[in-house]
């Protein structure tokens, strides 16, 4: 009888977690929409918007999860190892799904995506480099505050480089601007307030998701990093997916390309780096032996395909990327279920 009651309680907790997760994704999507409109209002190119503003906004689930987890770890309300495993797994899992499954689906929807050669050097190589940085810095089993400073400082330096480059080469006549743009300074201010409110809702729902996930990990014995990879990672990648598909529908490739690549830079540098600065993190071995190496491999494979095809991703490549994700998750479940 007690076991049945415990099972029912766990079911209720999981349902509440799913509801909080849905709220987190919905609120972050609303923040993304408003921030993109404000960026266009400020005359920023779609590629730059995707790499910076949108990648930052769509990474809100990962960023807020990291920062709320770090505060919880400092306060003692969240277990150090479980909390670290959950948010790191979600972060890295989100990056892998964006590089493979989501990129593949977006290419299938568009028919073809075309990357310019300078984008491969300016954006995709830094994407792979950030993953390698996380692997090297975490190899001792911990992200220290010094590691966090290196990652977060790299994010600030890279963003500044992109801004300088944007101001140097931006041409308004080359840009495809979304119809969702404020038409006045007053409307822009309202949009800014809505974006802030949406982000606050995202932060609150992220706290609920983390607490519930910790309970599930404690009661089931499943590794926190695995739950982060296959559930929170997928959910956290939804804003990037929704934004990328919206860009395809508007026949603007700058947004999906910048968003998917930019988020894979923002997630490790700002989320992991900022969270490590607050509380430090324990790094589970599956992340070091499987997830981060796999993310590095998929990033290099994607870069190699684009370099060989002169920047073109076609439907055949999309199928290959989707298969890579299926293999990744399947072997993760078989080889590294526990932390």
Domains of the chain from N-terminus onward: 2-168+184-335 (1.20.1420.30)
Report residue 312: phi and psi, to 5°.
-110, 130
Number of residues assigned to the chain: 339
Cα–Cα dist 144/152, whole Å:
12
Residue 248 is predicted with a pLDDT of 67
Joined together, the tokens standing for residue 250 give: 């508007």
Contact 323, 209 (CB under 8 A): no
- The residue assigned the tokens 């201010």 is 189
pLDDT bucket at 254, cuts 50 / 70 / 90: low
- Residue 153, pLDDT score: 95
The Cα–Cα gap between 271 and 217 comes to: 22
320/208: higher pLDDT: 320
Answer yes or no: is pLDDT of 234 > 70.
Answer: no
Cβ neighbourhood burial of 116 (10 Å; 0-12, 13-18, 19+): middle
Separation between Cα atoms, residue 231 and residue 245, nearest integer Å: 21
Q: Is the pLDDT of residue 5 over 50?
A: no
Q: Minimal CA–CA distance to 48: which of 245, 273, 257, 188?
A: 257
Does 293 score more than 90 pLDDT? yes
d(Cα 236, Cα 263) in Å, to the nearest integer?
A: 11
Provide the 3-class DSSP secondary structure of residue 314. strand
Lowest mean pLDDT among 58-67, 226-235, 270-279: 226-235
pLDDT band at 210 (very low <50, low <70, confident <90, very high): low
Query: Beta strand 312-314 with 112-114: parallel, antiparallel or unpaired?
Result: antiparallel
pLDDT at 176 > cutoff 90: no
Who has greater pLDDT, 332 or 204?
332
| DSSP H helical ranges for the chain | 2-41, 46-49, 55-58, 60-75, 80-97, 103-110, 117-119, 125-137, 145-169, 185-220, 224-227, 233-236, 238-249, 254-266, 273-279, 285-286, 292-308, 315-335
Predicted local confidence at residue 141, as pLDDT? 93
Which tens digit of pLDDT belongs to each residue from 22-43?
777 777 667 767 766 777 777 6
Rg (C-alpha) for the chain, rounded Å, is 19
Lowest mean pLDDT among 43-52, 60-69, 269-278: 43-52
Burial of 155-184, coded b for 16+ CB within 10 Å and e otherwise, reads: beebbeebeeebeeeeeeeebebbeebbee
- Region 220-233: what's the mean pLDDT? 65
Check residue 224 and give its pLDDT: 62
Asked if pLDDT for residue 174 goes beyond 50, the answer is no
Q: Nearest to residue 34, comparing CAs of 249, 160, 178?
A: 178
Q: If pLDDT is split at 50, 70 and 90, which confidence band does 255 have?
A: low
Average pLDDT, the chain: 78
Q: What pTM was estimated for this model as a whole? A: 0.74
Looking at residue 213, its pLDDT comes to 67
Confidence class of residue 10 from pLDDT cuts 50, 70 and 90?
low
Q: How crowded is the C-beta side of 135, counted as CA atoms within 13 Å?
A: 16
Query: Quick one: pLDDT at residue 173?
Result: 42
Tokens 């992991």 belong to residue: 272
pLDDT tens digit string along 127-170?
A: 899 999 999 999 999 999 999 999 999 999 988 888 887 766 65
Of the listed ranges 2-6, 87-91, 309-313, the one predicted with least confidence: 2-6
What is the distance, to the nearest Å, from the Cα of residue 271 to the centroid of all Cα atoms in its chain? Answer: 9
């Amino acid at each position: 009888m007690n076991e049945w009651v415990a099972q029912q309680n766990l079911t209720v907790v999981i349902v509440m977690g799913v509801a909080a997760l849905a709220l987190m994704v919905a609120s972050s999507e609303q923040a993304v929409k408003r921030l993109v409109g404000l960026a266009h209002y400020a005359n920023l190119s779609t590629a730059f918007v995707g790499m910076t503003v949108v990648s930052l906004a769509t990474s809100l689930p990962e960023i807020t999860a990291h920062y709320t987890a770090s505060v919880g770890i400092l306060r003692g309300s969240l277990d150090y190892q479980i909390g670290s495993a959950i948010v790191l797994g979600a972060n890295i899992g989100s990056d892998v799904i964006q590089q493979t499954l989501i990129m593949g689906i977006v290419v299938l929807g568009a028919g073809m995506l075309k990357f310019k050669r300078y984008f491969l050097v300016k954006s995709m190589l830094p994407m792979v480099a950030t993953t390698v940085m996380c692997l090297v810095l975490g190899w001792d089993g911990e992200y220290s505050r010094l590691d966090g400073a290196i990652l977060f400082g790299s994010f600030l330096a890279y963003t500044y480089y992109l801004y300088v480059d944007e101001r140097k080469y931006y041409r308004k006549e080359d840009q495809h601007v979304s119809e969702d743009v404020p038409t006045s300074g007053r409307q822009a201010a309202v949009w800014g307030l809505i974006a802030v409110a949406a982000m606050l809702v995202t932060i609150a729902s992220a706290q609920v998701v983390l607490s519930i996930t910790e309970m599930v990990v404690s009661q089931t014995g499943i590794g926190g990093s695995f739950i982060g990879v296959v559930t929170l990672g997928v959910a956290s990648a939804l804003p990037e997916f929704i934004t990328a598909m919206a860009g395809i529908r508007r026949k603007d490739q700058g947004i999906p390309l910048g968003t998917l690549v930019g988020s894979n830079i923002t997630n490790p540098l700002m989320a992991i780096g900022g969270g490590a600065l607050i509380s430090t993190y324990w790094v589970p071995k599956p992340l070091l032996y499987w997830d981060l190496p796999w993310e590095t491999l998929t990033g290099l494979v994607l870069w190699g395909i684009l370099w060989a095809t002169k920047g073109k991703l076609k439907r055949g490549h999309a199928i290959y990327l989707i298969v890579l994700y299926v293999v990744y998750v399947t072997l993760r479940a078989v080889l590294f279920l526990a932390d």
